[in-house]
Chains A and B, each alone.
Chain A
Amino acid sequence: MRPKVAFFDFTSCEGCQLDALNLEVGELLGLLGAVDIVNFREIKTDRSDDYDIAFIEGSITKESEIPRIQAIRNQAKVLVALGACACTGGINCMKNAYPMEDLLKGVYGECAEYYNTIPARPISAVVPVDAYIRGCPPTTAEFVKVVKSLLLSKRPDIPNYPVCTECRMAGNVCVFQRGGTCIGPVTRGGCEALCVSAGRFCWGCRGLVDDPNTNSEKDILARYGLTIDQILERFKIYNSYSEVSKCQS
């Protein structure tokens, strides 16, 4: 029987869902032939609470989102975090630097009491996650790779080496040599160093490698006369939920 697949969105820009389906015609028809999409609010009206694989986009940023993700976890045999907001908390966690009341008052003024918000967190901070499709947004190729692995009941082969490895293979001049700052040395690869290849630098959207060599990152900083604060400012964009503390130690 074809596995039943559901997509759910939490706090996010909803770009990952749409990008995931940015497939070639053949790939899309192949996917629709291999699975049964039963729940996908952004493109589909009918919904079902009977599904096997749940793709979760977005972070948890409201009390009401906690029971909702728990119910999805209870139903799904496999739960996949899709995109940076779901995997690491992503940029949503930048707001955690401020008291929640300050945010609400700052944005909504006298009407702040109408609304609620809690510190943003990745999905894994609330329920167990079985697989991660990283990036902001993930590449379509990686989405396809993970889906294929899941359908074959295999563990997806996602790199656990830093972006630098792929950056060198792409033949890029090192960002530090160009006088910039980059967190590619501790960020998980798999993106083929897309941003550096496009003339920019790595913002760390795929999260840190499992065992980031922060000492070597510190050596690089020393060599190029940069401070840890300069790097941390960049780290905080995508990795302020838990991983900044790891690097500071």
Chain B
Amino acid sequence: MSELKIKVNQLTRVEGHGNIHLEATDGKLDRVLWEVTESPRFFEWMLKGRNYDDVSTISSRICGICSISHTTASLQATESAFGVKLTEQAWLLRKLLYNAEMLESHVLHVLFLIAPDFLGADSVIPLVATHGDIIVMAVRLKKLAYNLADILAGRKTHPITPIVGGWSKLPDIDELKAIRERLEKAMEDMDTMVAVVKSVAPMIPDFQRPTEYIALKDSKEYSFITGKIASSDGGTFPLEDYKQITNEFCVPHSSAKFAKHKRDSYMVGALSRFNLNSEQLLPKAKKAAKELGIKAPIHNPFFISVAQTVETVHAMEDAINIIDKLLARGLHEEEVKVKPRAGRGVGIVEAPRGILIHDYTYDESGNIVSANCIIPTGQNHLSIQKDFDALAPTILDKPEDEIRHTLEMLVRAYDPCISCSVH
């Protein structure tokens, strides 16, 4: 009898803490488990009693990578509760800032966290010596995204200026012009990034598991922060009805809640967005998708980072377009008027890893009575587990190291934000 036991404690190159266990006997799988061990922080309780002016500041701290997503979902939940409408200028700035988050997060995942898997390194550090040009480009792109966020929001991680109903400070017009030049120049880097991803694409494991793909959908644009919830199985859902989709439940081996719709799991994130909305990508992003040879629908989760690469091009193109609009119309100081009222508001955005939900109930003074946050990675945990269940039996004949590495790569493909999912 031959026994195989694989245990990965604290998977590396992901945000947060998770373990992988696999046990097999005589080439037959006994069990494979994705375990989430992150410490809960109890954000929903921290928010209780908090005034709306502090709410997005606190809830931003759920995640250090996607803090702009949390800030945006939080502000939109509060705006929905109070019936606050944004001006066109405030919307443009919010979308522009959002592009900075998509750029930074996707570049981090594709070029810093995933690339070492394909280039045979343990991290990005040895790649400085072997693939210096690519790493210098990756650092440059990341810095560009940070600087775009800096001029709009004061900083990238935990933005300062976005407030309920608008902005506490407008960006400097000359800084916008300067960053536009850098974005334009960085479009050349996008060609390189696409070429790098294309060159490693043949190494992507061949694995298919069709599932339900869920993303925001907006008739007007490739949606990041507007629209309704849509499913690849058909139908759209108003934001307030998100619980029809998420149906959260607890499992003993995960401090993050799991989510489940009608199938045994569903997926959110870049691949879901691509599968649902690829027709709406901007021209250069469409061209990148063609160059990378991807076409919706894709049922291989290892292709998430390929979809992220296409979205990186889209976000950069969209950022340039928005800056052009802002420069054409000029920036104007706008008074932000907010009148709190009792009631519920739901804000849903596409964080880099998928739909992110903040649901708040306020009292008449604008203090939180109750809050609920549902995180993209929380929704993807069950999809990771179901992928494990389908993938593991097909690779048991491989060497132990290769099995371990393939399972690690699968989790990494999802770009999980584990501490965020536990919050």
Identify the A interface with B (CB < 8 A).
9-19, 22-25, 28-29, 32, 37, 40-47, 61-62, 65, 90-92, 94-95, 98, 103, 106-111, 114-115, 117, 136-137, 194-195, 197-200, 203, 233-234, 237
Against A, the Cβ 8 Å flags (1 = close, 0 = not) of B55-68 are 00110011111010
Within 8 A of A (CB), among B139-174: 139-140, 142-143, 146, 153-158, 160-161, 163, 167-169
Instruction: Give the shortest distance, in Å, between A43 (CB) and chain B (any CB).
Output: 5
Closest A residue by C-beta to B140: A25
**Which of A14, A45, A47, A95 makes the CB contact (< 8 A) with B42?**
A95
**Which of A42, A95, A114 makes the CB contact (< 8 A) with B45?**
A95
Closest B residue by C-beta to A46: B122
Among the interface residues A9, A61, A197, which one has the most CB atoms of the partner chain B within 10 A? A9
Known contacts A29-B128, A103-B42, A136-B61; is A41 also within 8 Å of B12 by CB?
A: yes
Q: Which residues of A are found within 8 Å of B124, using beta-carbon distances?
A: 43-44
Assess the B64–A19 pair: CB atoms within 8 A. yes
Identify the B interface with A (CB < 8 A).
10, 12-17, 39-42, 44-46, 50-51, 54, 57-58, 61-65, 67, 108, 112-113, 116, 122-125, 128, 136, 139-140, 142-143, 146, 153-158, 160-161, 163, 167-169, 250, 252, 255, 257, 419-420
Among the interface residues B15, B63, B113, B124, which one has the most CB atoms of the partner chain A within 10 A? B15
Q: Which residues of B are found within 8 Å of A46, using beta-carbon distances?
A: 122-123
Assess the B67–A13 pair: CB atoms within 8 A. yes
Known contacts A15-B64, A203-B57; is A62 also within 8 Å of B39 by CB?
A: yes
Among the interface residues A28, A199, A234, which one has the most CB atoms of the partner chain B within 10 A? A199
Q: Which residues of B are found within 8 Å of A137, using beta-carbon distances?
A: 64, 155, 157-158
Instruction: Give the shortest distance, in Å, between B260 (CB) and chain A (any CB).
Output: 15
**Which of A25, A44, A103, A106 makes the CB contact (< 8 A) with B136?**
A25
Assess the A18–B157 pair: CB atoms within 8 A. yes
Among the interface residues B10, B140, B154, which one has the most CB atoms of the partner chain A within 10 A? B154
Assess the B250–A109 pair: CB atoms within 8 A. yes
Q: List 17 A-B contacts (CB under 8 A).
A: A13-B61, A13-B62, A15-B67, A42-B13, A43-B12, A44-B125, A61-B40, A61-B41, A91-B46, A95-B42, A109-B250, A117-B39, A137-B158, A194-B160, A199-B168, A233-B50, A234-B54
A234 to B53, CA, bound (A): 11
A105 to B365, CA, bound (A): 27
**Which of A41, A61, A198 makes the CB contact (< 8 A) with B161?**
A198
Closest B residue by C-beta to A37: B125
**Which of B15, B58, B161 makes the CB contact (< 8 A) with A91?**
B58
A95 to B39, CA, bound (A): 13
Assess the B13–A200 pair: CB atoms within 8 A. no
Q: Which residues of B are found within 8 Å of A25, using beta-carbon distances?
A: 136, 139-140, 143
Assess the A115–B142 pair: CB atoms within 8 A. no
Assess the A22–B143 pair: CB atoms within 8 A. yes
Assess the B252–A111 pair: CB atoms within 8 A. yes
Assess the B67–A198 pair: CB atoms within 8 A. no
Q: Which residues of A are found within 8 Å of B63, using beta-carbon distances?
A: 13-15
Assess the B250–A12 pair: CB atoms within 8 A. no
Assess the B39–A14 pair: CB atoms within 8 A. no
What 6 new A-B contacts, CB under 8 Å, besides A41-B13, A198-B169?
Answer: A9-B17, A17-B64, A18-B65, A19-B156, A92-B41, A115-B255
A39 to B396, CA, bound (A): 30
Assess the A103–B45 pair: CB atoms within 8 A. yes
Assess the B12–A45 pair: CB atoms within 8 A. yes
Closest A residue by C-beta to B10: A41
Instruction: Give the shortest distance, in Å, between A67 (CB) and chain B (any CB).
Output: 14
Q: Which residues of A are found within 8 Å of B153, using beta-carbon distances?
A: 198
A29 to B46, CA, bound (A): 40
**Which of B44, B57, B158, B419 makes the CB contact (< 8 A) with A12?**
B419
Q: Which residues of A are found within 8 Å of B108, using beta-carbon distances?
A: 18
Instruction: Give the shortest distance, in Å, between B131 (CB) and chain A (any CB).
Output: 14
Q: Which residues of A are found within 8 Å of B57, using beta-carbon distances?
A: 203, 237
Instruction: Give the shortest distance, in Å, between B329 (CB) and chain A (any CB).
Output: 21
**Which of A15, A28, A43, A115 makes the CB contact (< 8 A) with B158?**
A15
Assess the A15–B65 pair: CB atoms within 8 A. yes
Q: Which 5 residue pairs are nearest across A and B when measured between Cβ atoms?
A: A15-B64, A199-B168, A44-B123, A111-B250, A199-B169
A13 to B168, CA, bound (A): 24
Closest A residue by C-beta to B250: A111
Q: Which residues of B are found within 8 Å of A19, using beta-carbon distances?
A: 64, 156-157
Known contacts A12-B64, A12-B419, A24-B143; is A198 also within 8 Å of B13 by CB?
A: no
